[in-house]
Chain A
Amino acid sequence: MHEMALCEGLVQALEEQARAQVFSRVHKVFLEIGALATIEPAAMRFNFPIVAKGTLAEGAALAIDFVDGSAWCMQCSGNVAVKRHGEGCPACGSYQLHILDGAQMRIKQLEVS
Chain B
Amino acid sequence: MCAICGCGGHEHKHGSDHHDHDHDHDHHGHDHHDHDDHDHRHAHAPGLSQTRMVQVERDIFAENQRHADANRRSFAARGLFVVNLVSSPGSGKTTLLVRTVEALKAELPVAVIEGDQQTGLDAERIKATGVPAYQINTGKGCHLDAHGVGHALAHLPPIEDGVLFIENVGNLVCPAGFDLGEAHKVVVLSTTEGEDKPLKYPDMFFAADLMLLNKSDLLPYVDFSVEKAADYAGRVHPGIGVLTLSARSGEGMAAWLDWLRAGVERAKAGKAAARPKPRVALSAGT
Given contacts A24-B21, A111-B52, A113-B49, contact A59 B60 (CB under 8 A): no
**Which residue on A lies nearest to B33, using beta carbons?**
A111
CB <8 Å contact, B202 and A1: no
A55 within 8 A of B: yes
Q: Which residues of A contact B33 (CB under 8 A)?
A: 111
Given contacts A1-B173, A86-B235, contact A106 B203 (CB under 8 A): no
Interface size on A, residues (CB 8 A): 52
Given contacts A18-B16, A38-B203, A86-B202, contact A106 B174 (CB under 8 A): no
CB <8 Å contact, B48 and A99: no
A37 within 8 A of B: yes
Given contacts A6-B60, A38-B177, contact A59 B41 (CB under 8 A): yes
Given contacts A59-B41, A103-B177, contact A27 B56 (CB under 8 A): no
Closest 5 CB pairs of A and B: A56-B16, A85-B202, A2-B174, A86-B236, A86-B202
Q: Which of B138-167 contact A (CB under 8 A)?
A: 140-143, 145
Name B's interface SS. loop
Q: With A and B bound together, what is the CA distance between A104 and B178 in angstroms? A: 12
Q: Which residues of B contact A50 (CB under 8 A)?
A: none
Given A13-B60, A28-B39, A85-B206, 14 more contacts at CB 8 Å? A1-B171, A5-B145, A18-B16, A23-B23, A25-B48, A55-B13, A59-B42, A85-B203, A86-B198, A88-B235, A95-B238, A99-B206, A111-B33, A113-B44
Q: Which residues of B contact A10 (CB under 8 A)?
A: 60
**Which residue on B lies nearest to A59, using beta carbons?**
B41
Which residues in A have some Cβ–Cβ distance to B below 8 Å?
1-2, 4-6, 9-13, 15, 17-18, 21-25, 27-28, 36-39, 54-61, 84-86, 88, 95-99, 103-113
Interface size on B, residues (CB 8 A): 55
B26 within 8 A of A: no
Q: Chain B nearest CB: distance from A87 CB in Å?
A: 8
Q: Chain B nearest CB: distance from A40 CB in Å?
A: 9
CB <8 Å contact, A25 and B42: yes
CB <8 Å contact, A55 and B238: no
**Which residue on A lies nearest to B204, using beta carbons?**
A38
CB <8 Å contact, B53 and A1: no
Q: With A and B bound together, what is the CA distance between A4 and B140 in angstroms? A: 10
CB <8 Å contact, B58 and A17: yes
Q: With A and B bound together, what is the CA distance between A54 and B63 in angstroms? A: 22
Q: Which of B1-57 contact A (CB under 8 A)?
A: 12-17, 19, 21, 23, 33, 37-39, 41-42, 44, 48-57
From A25, A107, A110, contact of B53 by CB (8 A):
A110
Q: Which residues of A contact B50 (CB under 8 A)?
A: 113
Q: Chain B nearest CB: distance from A49 CB in Å?
A: 10
B131 within 8 A of A: no
B221 within 8 A of A: no
B199 within 8 A of A: yes
